[in-house]
Amino acid sequence: VGLSFDDAFDAEFEPVYGYIARRLGVSAADDLTAETFAVAFRRWQDFDSSRPLRPWLFGIASNLIRHRWREERRMLQAYARTGIDPALAEGDPLLERISAQAERATLAAALADLRREEREVLLLHAWADLSDTEIAESLSLPLGTVKSRLSRARERFRNHLDLIGQVETGNVKSVGERL
Amino acid sequence: VKNDDLQFLREFRAELPAPDDETRRKIYHHATSQANPRTRGRRWRIPSVALAAGVTAAVVAVLLVSPWSATDGGLVQRALAAVGTGPVMHIVMEVPPNTVDVNLKTGRETAGTSRQEIWFDRRNNRYQIIFTTGNHLVSDYIGRSHYPPGSEAAVANNFYVSLATGYREALRSGTAKLVERDTFDGHRIYWLNGGVPGEVGIDAQTYKPVLQRYRRGKRYVYTRILLAKAIAYRPADFKRRGPKEQVSDTRRFARGYVFGSTNPSATPSTTVHSPWLTAGTTIAGLKLRTVTPFTIRKGRRSFSYGTPRPKLIHGLELVYGPRSHEPAPTRPTRINLYGPQWQPRATTPFTTIYEVPAGNTPPWAVVPADSIQFQTGLTTIGEHVVPTLRLGYLRKHGLYITIHTPQSQATALQIARSLRTSPK
């Protein structure tokens, strides 16, 4: 019995929306989640239901996010500079009261400093909960490439956290970018 | 700085709020109304030259014989003429009823009929939307669309408003296309797409819009259009009919989520104290399993109707369940108590009663006295759509009561009738 689009939407709407919202903010998440599922809906008969759904959907989402990498970088830089989470600030006002924490700004700066392709692999792993194999399927990359990118991304990310953690949040903008 | 980078990232991810039900609904509509999914089957590869020749011949043939060609005052032009030329689009729609009011004493049922009336002034993108259920004004909203008429964003923004904002623009710009000839209730209609999510059905004789449909899973959901006419501007059309506080729209719909307890670590009890109501320790074969207080916090923009508007609402949740060993939930079930419900699809054996102080808030405020209003959720199981969880709304002893149950309507009615004040 094949998976229906409705079932797929129900199961994956929140993970996809949350992933995009975290990367690009709530407004962009509205648009890109709709576009992700619109693409999925149009291609639904191409989806091989014997394969896992999530990598396929996140592959679509990743392609859409890729076009907006400058926006993502700006958002992370803004977060790093101000300590105010842009993704939250435009979202539910109930949650605006969540205080911006210096360590989150640090994290944003560390993410901003990653190469685009490293960030993509790292966030698919950490935020979309995809395994290495699933990331490879999502991005149509060899498994070895994914493993090495992920390993490099984590190493660089950890190094940046250690490095940035020693400076004031207000100075984070001086950290170089390699996008 | 934490050393566990992945844990750190996951905490960062978890800070974002879950999208609300209205966002989910809009995104679902947007995704499923943009294009029909391709049908499965063998794909024939036709040589491109032959394909091009075939397409050209077909287009020529269609242009020669079609009654809707753009050059001979065809279907789209006739549909445009039927709408009229005034600056204000006036729409009246009968929204499919999904509620029934049941009198608690007699059991008599009255099906709810809901109407939406819209005036849209295309010169300044201003609109007024009035939503009524029965004779009750549920919402009255005057606002401005921030999107150009007919744009993709305007279409996705609001399913119903898009008929006012997008349909005529699609006819004027020529983007509206005939997609199907059909018969509905014995009348011949043409289905046009463009400018709205789904399609608009126009009467084959008058060319006036009579239906709007969109696909939900494998089925269409239809909305009857009672009036769609471009009229002259009249200031009175843009005056508020209802109390200002009784306002909602898709972006500012009231949201009052129950998803946390004032004290999540507290041991669940089964004791109910006044002024809260209880249906007893057992009702209709269901046993009272847990009683949990909850609070709803409201922000300045997240709660647009309902008076008074305290920052904090204290409520009580009672969970009734079958006499099984299945553990009852220890935290309140996530539900948008004051806002629109996403179709509840998950199955649960538990019946939950939510109680909050009464205010002036739909849906309870528009339920007739001594009645309970039922809304039924639909779940797709295989190819069938079946009613599953139902929601019952009633007012009793100064409280707004919501009953959320997988049980039958008769059981929900029995619970509603038996609710009584607890001893102090």
User: In the structure, what pLDDT confidence band is assigned to residue A123 with cuts at 50, 70 and 90?
Assistant: very high
Give A40's contacts in chain B (Cβ within 8 Å).
31
Residues 36-75, chain B: which have Cβ within 8 Å of A? Answer: 37-40
CA R_g for chain B: 25
Whether pLDDT at A91 is above 60: no
Alpha-carbon gap, residue A68 to B48, rounded angstroms: 35
Give A162's contacts in chain B (Cβ within 8 Å).
1
Alpha-carbon gap, residue B271 to B283, rounded angstroms: 15
A25: closest chain B residue by CA: B16
A38: closest chain B residue by CA: B31
Higher pLDDT, A27 or B373: B373
Give A125's contacts in chain B (Cβ within 8 Å).
6
CA atoms within 13 A on the CB side of A5: 25
CA dihedral B19, B23, B24, B28 (to 10 degrees): -150
CB B197 within 8 A of CB B214: yes
Report pLDDT for B134. Answer: 66
Give B254's contacts in chain A (Cβ within 8 Å).
none
Q: Do A6 and B9 touch (CB under 8 A)?
A: no
Give the residue-averaged pLDDT of A110-115.
85
Q: Which of B209, B184, B206, B183 is nearest to B195 (CA)?
A: B209
A163: closest chain B residue by CA: B1
Q: What are phi and psi of B351, to 5 degrees?
A: -105, 130
Q: How close A47 comes to chain B (CA, Å)?
A: 10
Residues 299-358, chain B: which have Cβ within 8 Å of A? Answer: 299-302, 345
Alpha-carbon gap, residue B63 to B70, rounded angstroms: 9
Q: Which of B2, B1, B22, B13 is nearest to B302 (CA)?
A: B22
Q: Do A38 and B34 touch (CB under 8 A)?
A: yes
Q: Do B156 and A34 touch (CB under 8 A)?
A: yes
- Residues whose CB is less than 8 angstroms from the CB of residue B415 and which lie 6 or more positions away in sequence, other chains included: B279, B283, B284, B320, B351, B353, B403, B405
- Residues whose CB is less than 8 angstroms from the CB of residue B70 and which lie 6 or more positions away in sequence, other chains included: B76, B77, B174
Mean pLDDT by 10 residues, chain B (424 residues): 65 71 79 53 32 39 37 73 89 77 91 80 83 71 66 53 81 88 86 84 92 73 86 88 45 42 57 92 91 69 43 83 68 59 56 87 80 70 50 92 88 95 76
Q: How close B229 comes to chain A (CA, Å)?
A: 31
Report pLDDT for B372. Answer: 94
Closest residue to B37, CB basis, from A45, A122, A164: A45
Q: How close B127 comes to chain A (CA, Å)?
A: 23
CB B55 within 8 A of CB B181: no
- Residues whose CB is less than 8 angstroms from the CB of residue A21 and which lie 6 or more positions away in sequence, other chains included: A28, A29, A87, A91, B16, B19
Alpha-carbon gap, residue B406 to B412, rounded angstroms: 9
Q: Do A41 and B299 touch (CB under 8 A)?
A: no
Amino acid identity, residue B19? P
Q: How close A175 comes to chain B (CA, Å)?
A: 17
Q: What are phi and psi of B289, to 5 degrees?
A: -100, -45
One-letter-per-residue 3-state SS of chain B: CCCCHHHHHHHHHHCCCCCCHHHHHHHHHHHHHCCCCCCCCCCCCCCHHHHHHHHHHHHHHHHHHCCCCCCCCCHHHHHHHHHCCCCEEEEEEEECCCEEEEECCCCCEEECCEEEEEEEECCCCEEEEEEEECCEEEEEEEEECCCCCCCHHHHHHCCCHHHHHHHHHHHHHCCCEEEEEEEECCEEEEEEECCCCCEEEEECCCCCEEEEEEEECCEEEEEEEEEEEEECCCHHHHCCCCCCCCCCCCCCCCCCEECCECCCCCCCECCCCCCCEECCCEECCEEEEEEEEEEEECCCCCCCCCCCCCCEEEEEEEEEECCCCCCCCCCCCCEECCCCCCCCCCCCCCEEEEEEECCCCCCHHHCCCCEEEEEEEEEEECCEEEEEEEEEEEEECCEEEEEEECCCHHHHHHHHHHCEECCC
- Residues whose CB is less than 8 angstroms from the CB of residue B293 and which lie 6 or more positions away in sequence, other chains included: B261, B262, B263, B314, B315, B316, B317
Give the residue-averaged pLDDT of A94-110.
53
Q: Do B31 and A127 touch (CB under 8 A)?
A: no
Q: Do B1 and A33 touch (CB under 8 A)?
A: no
Give B256's contacts in chain A (Cβ within 8 Å).
none
Report pLDDT for A144. Answer: 93
Q: What is the ipTM of this complex?
A: 0.74
List the single best residue of A4, A41, A111 to mutate versus B (max B Cβ within 10 A): A41
Q: Which of B98, B120, B307 is nearest to B221 (CA)?
A: B98
Give B20's contacts in chain A (Cβ within 8 Å).
92
B41: closest chain A residue by CA: A45
Is residue A145 packed enough to be buried (19+ CB in 10 Å), middle (13-18) or exposed (0-12)?
middle
B1: closest chain A residue by CA: A165
Whether pLDDT at A121 is above 60: yes
Give bridge partners of residue B373 from the DSSP assignment: B101, B393
Give the residue-averaged pLDDT of A133-153.
92
Alpha-carbon gap, residue B11 to A85, rounded angstroms: 14
A5-23 exposure pattern, b = at least 16 Cβ within 10 A, e = fewer: bbebbbebbebbbbbbbbb
CB B188 within 8 A of CB B204: yes
pTM of the model: 0.44
Report pLDDT for B68. Answer: 40
Q: Helix, strand or coil for residue A37?
A: helix
Chain A contact present for B32, CB below 8 A: yes
How far does chain A reach from its first CA to its final CA, in angstroms? 44
pLDDT in tens, A41-89: 888 877 777 788 899 999 999 999 888 877 777 777 766 665 555 555 4
Mean pLDDT of chain A: 74
CB B419 within 8 A of CB B403: no
Q: How close B2 comes to chain A (CA, Å)?
A: 8
Closest residue to B16, CB basis, from A9, A91, A154: A91
Q: Cα B69 to chain center, whole Å?
A: 37
A122: closest chain B residue by CA: B6
Q: Do A161 and B19 touch (CB under 8 A)?
A: no
Give A157's contacts in chain B (Cβ within 8 Å).
5
DSSP conformational letter for A174: G
Report pLDDT for B56. Answer: 39
Give bridge partners of residue B225 from the DSSP assignment: B93
Q: Helix, strand or coil for residue A105?
A: helix
Closest residue to B38, CB basis, from A29, A45, A162: A45
CB B253 within 8 A of CB B234: no
Alpha-carbon gap, residue B178 to B175, rounded angstroms: 10
List the single best residue of A3, A13, A123 to mutate versus B (max B Cβ within 10 A): A13
Report pLDDT for A2. Answer: 57
